[in-house]
Amino acid sequence: MPESIEVYYARVASAADAEGRLAPNAELQAWEVFPFESEGLRLRPLEPLAQAELPRHGEGGTSCDGCDRGDQRSAAVGEVWRDDHWRIAVAESSGAPLILILSPLAHHDFTTLPMPLAAEMGQIMVALGLAIEALPSVARVHVSKWGDGGEHAHIFFYARPSRMPQLRGTMMAVWDDYLPPVPGDVRDGNARAVVQDLVRSYGGRAAGPVA
């Protein structure tokens, strides 16, 4: 039988010190992509187990950021591509050459997508990844799904800069918050090239600043 969250939390808490802090991960902090110097770095104390999950935008019929930004007929803020079921928006500010966000037009959580939409999502993700990696400043696309802030499904595509091995791996999302923002015209130029490639390879149509 799978363990409960209470059992899981008790096991984690038992590994903490008297102040409730977990030991630092020396192997992780020695990794060349780790953004911070280890000296003086320590984890915050472990907080008590919450009574319940924090509410998300769009849950239980509450206001949904994903739906409010644009309905199925009108363009959402930052939208650069759409088809009959999906839209792609560009992050307003990023240190990465480009961050794009894929979401369905209809309100679905990631885990409640109907199978036909899930199949479309997979095809778009592959085509979009290829288009992003074709940018001359990009080596790899990193794909992330969190979903803790909003129920409406949204998948992030981070363009990891080429020839900057320090930005590899899971820390790219952290580095992005510290890298200087890419100028808007450069970001839009990157987005335009990606969208044009995506339209050729998959379909859909350009929208917003890249149309």
Which tokens in the block code for residue 88?
Answer: 């792609």
> Can you give the pLDDT at residue 77?
76
- Weakest mean pLDDT among 38-47, 141-150, 190-199: 38-47
> Can you give the pLDDT at residue 92?
85
Asked if pLDDT for residue 197 goes beyond 90, the answer is: yes
Residue ranges per structural domain of the chain: 1-52, 65-210
Q: Cα(51)–Cα(114) distance, rounded to whole angstroms?
A: 31
Q: CA nearest 99: which of 36, 63, 143?
A: 143
Asked if pLDDT for residue 60 goes beyond 90, the answer is: no
Asked if pLDDT for residue 74 goes beyond 80, the answer is: no
Which tokens in the block code for residue 174?
Answer: 């952290």
Q: Cα(153)–Cα(88) distance, rounded to whole angstroms?
A: 12
Q: Are 157 and 101 within 8 A, CB to CB?
A: yes
Backbone angles phi, psi at 90, to 5 degrees: -100, 140
Q: Give the H or E element holding residue 205.
A: strand 205-206
The per-residue pLDDT for range 23-57, each reduced to its tens digit, is 988 888 888 899 998 888 888 999 999 898 888 88
Q: Cα(36)–Cα(42) distance, rounded to whole angstroms?
A: 11
Which tokens in the block code for residue 107?
Answer: 């309100």
Task: CATH number for 65-210: choose from 3.30.428.10, 3.40.50.970, 3.10.20.30, 1.10.10.60.
Answer: 3.30.428.10
**Three-class SS of residue 190?**
helix
DSSP 150: B
Rounded to the nearest integer, the mean pLDDT of the chain is: 91
